[in-house]
Structure 1
Amino acid sequence: MTGAADTHTVTNQAPPLVDRNLFDANAPLREAAEWAGASAVAPRARALGEALAGADAARWAEEAHRYPPVLRTHDRYGNRVDEVDFHPSWHRFMRLAVEHGAHAMPWAEPGPGAHAGRAVLLSLLAQTEPGHCCPISMTYAAVPALRASPELAAVWEPLITAPEYDPGLRPPQEKAGVLVGMAMTEKQGGSDVRANTTAATPSADGTYTLRGHKWFCSAPMNDAFLVLAQAPGGLSCFLLPRVLPDGTRNAIRLQRLKDKLGNRSNASAEIELHDAVAHLVGEEGRGVAHIIEMVNHTRLDCVIATAAGMRQSTVEAVWHAAHRSAFGAKLIDQPLMTQVLADLCVESEAATATMMRLASAYDDPDQAVFRRLATAVAKYCVCKRGPGHAAEALECLGGNGYVEEAPLARRYREQPLLSIWEGSGNVICLDVLRALATRPESAEAFLAEVEPAAAENAGLAAHLKGLKRSLASVEPAGARRLTEDLGLALQASLLIRHSPADVADAFCASRLGPDRGLNYGAVQTKAAAAIVARHFPG
């Protein structure tokens, strides 16, 4: 007689995807670190990749999302405290990120390849638990904005760049390190920040008092925020500390935490400012110009985090397919599945190459013109592809992927955030048009970047001819197609120059060719098995 326990024998399931170094197992990332000038980061990336590879890190990621942050507006006695409590696993990721320099490496250790090296580190963290990358990203991005006020930067930058994670609300001068957030948008404006109504009133001591509201305050547990408010001289940028030097809480009232679709481990809040003390950054009336430095760096991080998510989605799908059998063979060996997996791999590698090329442009002041246009193009094209890529990878796992225990459920909810955050599609495309209009040389720099590779691929050469015609007559209604074509040209050129020919040819045939398909795996490649093998996670 068969025992009852026999009906519960688990077979034909993939083992946990753990105990492989996230850096060593990622050939496209390792290679990109080399050609992007960031080879020096390899030892640090390998140490971080090892820490993130085990079952513990996987459990921490699940716990950080299963037990999201909790707002405490008052203590037990009725005193206003405005604090956010996090699960210990959140703090584990924050500590890893800060101690490895993902929050400030280019400012703390400036030198060749610093931004590209940091991109490697952030991508490893974002593969495992993306929510904590929000405060890490904003802390990194705050430094170039703060440098518009050298005296302010002299006080705050050493604390921002310190490799110490020191949570808790205390005066900044008493902390080993601080983190910075952002609060720009308001209910009535959203991306139209010039519609902001928060008022900034000068004080006799040189500070300002802010009164108003913010619809999205990112990472309200951080030590300070860059905010926009209307000063006598116009819309201006301010540094808003959470705790004042005398230890009193600044007049920042947390109204509620956003109940978000994804990014649930991270806190985002609606806040009210009741004459909160703030410091002017730069000049009055130039708030957008100053804070755009922060925005551009966080847009870079949107690209990095999306590429990281694509890597996670790809390896989860490949790993599952390599261990799951159906219809007499492993899924990975089923011709139709092999094509789908190969296409996911190609998309992931294109995103990785793009993030590394963009990050390397931040390492070179002479590439500012290229960087201006390429940041917006990459933010649109890579981040727009993230949600569909996650959905296809989840489908490779079928019902096994559509449960909360599987990381792809979290990833599926996370990817749309990165397309929305720091400018959704139309906002970014309008920024592309603005870059082309105000810096016409940016188009020349962009074409100079991609044209050399066209000599090696007829598909890219034909694509560039059409792109040049579009650039000659730019229309607002056509901004999405133009931005998409710019992004495809950049990605194709990078793969042609730096990736195996099989990968580059597959990308150009499926994204640029006349027979392009609408879904992953629709365009066949004879090298599908080799492409999948390149991306196999260990």
Structure 2
Amino acid sequence: MNIATHEVFNQPEPLVDVNLFEANRPLQDGLKFNAPALDPAGLRALGAVLGTGEMQTHARLANVHTPQLRSHDRFGRRIDEVEFHPSYHALMRAATEAGLHGTPFSDAEQASGHAHVRRAAAFMLFTELEPSVLCPISMTYAVTPALKDNPSIYRDWSAQLTSRAYDPRLVLWRDKAGVTMGMGMTEKQGGSDVRANTTQAVPAGEDGWGRRYTVTGHKWFFSAPMCDAFLILAQTASGLSCLFLPRILPDGMRNALQIQRLKDKLGNKANASSEVEFAGATAWLVGEEGRGVPQILAMGTLTRLDCALGTSGLMRQALSLALDHTRQRMAFGKPLIEQPLMRNVLADLALESEAATALALRLARSFDRSISDEHERVIQRLLTPIAKFWICKRGSAFAQEAMECLGGNGYVEEGGEGIMARIYREMPVNSIWEGAGNIMALDLLRALRKADAAAALSQELAPARGMHPALDQLAASLPTRVEMMATEIEARRLAQDVALAVQAALLAQTAPAAVFSAFCESRLAGQWGYSFGCLPSGTDFAAILRRAQPR
């Protein structure tokens, strides 16, 4: 008996087998502005791979079949291993082959002059595919330069840290082609207040890696516990110190790091985050004893860059899905994308996505140039908390609006459109991880006290002077507000306004007039509401949507 009752139609085809780099005009223009000498061939090849159905399947499977903790073997011995689905390893292999971890710090990459911008673009492209596996990748990126403060360890580990090989085996570092590293900072009682840490490190002699310690304590959030080594914070006689703690000790024995359980998180499902105990673990000092907080903050600067890059990539992915769905889906006699209110929403999302990309790439450029350029050094210190605060803060609202463009199809967890639900669950992590909004606002105030931030900001905004009256008005007010160093209770508003001003100035130099004008009219001139889709009627919707299309 035939029980079919209807024919399926008006269901959009999934966005698959699209070159993510070629489809992203804002990213291409941002690269031309920030790294004009960069050859995009490698990014184009990466974009082709990341957009394939095969890689999308790996992303789905890695999130469905989540990591599993194996604390003991069948004989009762502690092994403290995390087991992953093969798709997780396929994604990690692709990320390391793309050089997204420690590779930018290799001599060859450093010589190019745009190692961090190239890596930033690749990181955003990869985030469009699957962001949660990038947690250990990001930490390896951040930790690599910090290890130079222990030259012996850096000498032994640097080749594997910058290698493009992926080797997930839990064996001695010298027997591996490539390694990954994590970080352990927060504890139950302290969270972001790491000075409240109670983990203790007691001197245990010296060897070829320097001063050795025995560590006893815990970490409440210990992400990517399957990494080969970690930089942790622990209390020593001189105060909070940064220590290098490997999973496998130089003699081949497993270190006394016990994984208590894996966190059951809202999103970030493919990545293992854990709680651990140090039961007399062995670790080595990195940097000066008692100077652990500055050491960790230096690494936090790089991971905060990745938070901005990651959210920008997720925004682009959500926008692409919304645009492609509404282009195909018919409603009330014509494609959704031709409905006036939908055009307004999509164009507004496109503005937000392009502004995030522009700011994140500009921040990445400062990491390439800050060693020899004082302006870039100040801009890096100023824009890191601003980009982390503002871009990540906008992410969740952006994802919710993009999901609404797909209606109920966007809310389900299956098929191509199920990616939108995964994006929505992923968005909050970049805002919370490595310092939530208040921490970033306070960090901005610290940056304002340490350098001539007002002059640097004025120089950054100067190229857009006279191009829009609302931007001119905001730019004129900021130096005074910066010099006055707004009180703590006003810090979030200052971070928001500096972010919007810098984004507008960047769009004036990288985006078409339609994008720049609409951004200024909405975000700066008050021609906007309290939700996406409130752009004024004079907006050039056609030009904005044409630029943003993923196909």
Shorter chain as normaliser: what TM range? Answer: over 0.9
Cα contact 2:103–2:161 (8 A) shared by 1: no
Q: How does 1:150-161 map to 2 (within 5 A)?
A: 150-161=151-162
User: The residue matched to 1:480 in structure 2 has which SS?
Assistant: helix
Which whole-Å deviations, capped at 9, do the CAs of 1:487-533 have from their partners, x for residues lacking one? 00110100011100100111111111133311111122531122111
Corresponding residue number in structure 2 for 1:306:
311
Corresponding residue number in structure 2 for 1:487:
499
Q: Does 1:197 align with 2:198?
A: yes
Q: How far apart, CA to CA, are the structure 2 residues paired with 1:41 and 1:419?
A: 32
Cα contact 2:346–2:533 (8 A) shared by 1: yes
Q: How does 1:436-455 map to 2 (within 5 A)?
A: 436-439=448-451, 441-455=452-466
Which moved further from structure 2: 508-517 or 227-236?
508-517
Q: How far apart, CA to CA, are the structure 1 residues paired with 2:155 and 2:516?
A: 46
TM-score by length of 2: 0.95
Choose from 62, 65, 68 the match for 1:64. 62
Q: How far apart, CA to CA, are the structure 2 residues paired with 1:11 and 1:301?
A: 40
Aligned-residue offset at 1:215: 0.5
Aligned-residue offset at 1:277: 0.7
Choose from 10, 32, 57 the match for 1:34. 32
Aligned-residue offset at 1:407: 0.4
Identical residues among aligned pairs (%): 50
Q: How far apart, CA to CA, are the structure 1 residues paired with 2:39 and 2:228?
A: 28
Cα contact 2:150–2:286 (8 A) shared by 1: yes
User: The residue matched to 1:362 in structure 2 has which SS?
Assistant: helix
Which whole-Å deviations, capped at 9, do the CAs of 1:437-492 have from their partners, x for residues lacking one? 122x1232122101331321111011123333432431111001011001001101
Which moved further from structure 2: 235-244 or 454-463?
454-463
Corresponding residue number in structure 2 for 1:97:
95
Corresponding residue number in structure 1 for 2:549:
536
Which whole-Å deviations, capped at 9, do the CAs of 1:42-98 have from their partners, x for residues lacking one? 121112111111111111111111111000100011010000001111111100010
Aligned-residue offset at 1:39: 5.1
Q: How does 1:198-277 map to 2 (within 5 A)?
A: 198-205=199-206, 206-277=211-282
Choose from 456, 459, 469 the match for 2:470. 459
Aligned-residue offset at 1:38: 6.0
Q: How far apart, CA to CA, are the structure 1 residues paired with 2:338 and 2:501?
A: 32
User: 1:319 corresponds to which letter in structure 2?
Assistant: D
Q: How does 1:386-397 map to 2 (within 5 A)?
A: 386-397=395-406
Choose from 414, 419, 443 the match for 2:431. 419
Aligned-residue offset at 1:104: 2.3
Corresponding residue number in structure 2 for 1:526:
539
CA RMSD of aligned residues (A): 1.3
Aligned-residue offset at 1:41: 4.8
Q: How far apart, CA to CA, are the structure 2 residues paired with 1:463 and 1:431?
A: 22
Q: How far apart, CA to CA, are the structure 2 residues paired with 1:362 and 1:268?
A: 28
Which whole-Å deviations, capped at 9, do the CAs of 1:221-240 have from their partners, x for residues lacking one? 00001100111111110111
User: 2:545 corresponds to which letter in structure 1?
Assistant: V
Q: How far apart, CA to CA, are the structure 1 residues paired with 2:102 and 2:450?
A: 30
User: 1:121 corresponds to which letter in structure 2?
Assistant: A
Which moved further from structure 2: 148-157 or 262-271?
148-157
Corresponding residue number in structure 2 for 1:287:
292
Cα contact 1:41–1:117 (8 A) shared by 2: no
User: The residue matched to 1:147 in structure 2 has which SS?
Assistant: helix
Q: Does 1:385 align with 2:394?
A: yes
Q: How far apart, CA to CA, are the structure 1 residues paired with 2:313 and 2:326?
A: 20
Q: How far apart, CA to CA, are the structure 2 residues paired with 1:145 and 1:324?
A: 50
Cα contact 1:263–1:417 (8 A) shared by 2: yes
Which whole-Å deviations, capped at 9, do the CAs of 1:180-213 have from their partners, x for residues lacking one? 0010000111100010111111112331111100
Aligned-residue offset at 1:150: 2.0
Q: How far apart, CA to CA, are the structure 2 residues paired with 1:194 and 1:526?
A: 50
Aligned-residue offset at 1:412: 0.3
User: The residue matched to 1:422 in structure 2 has which SS?
Assistant: coil
Cα contact 2:212–2:284 (8 A) shared by 1: yes
Cα contact 2:101–2:137 (8 A) shared by 1: yes
Choose from 373, 398, 410 the match for 2:422. 410
Unaligned stretches of 5+ residues in structure 1? none
Cα contact 1:38–1:112 (8 A) shared by 2: no
Which moved further from structure 2: 462-471 or 352-361?
462-471
| Number of positions where the alignment pairs a residue of Structure 1 with one of Structure 2 | 535
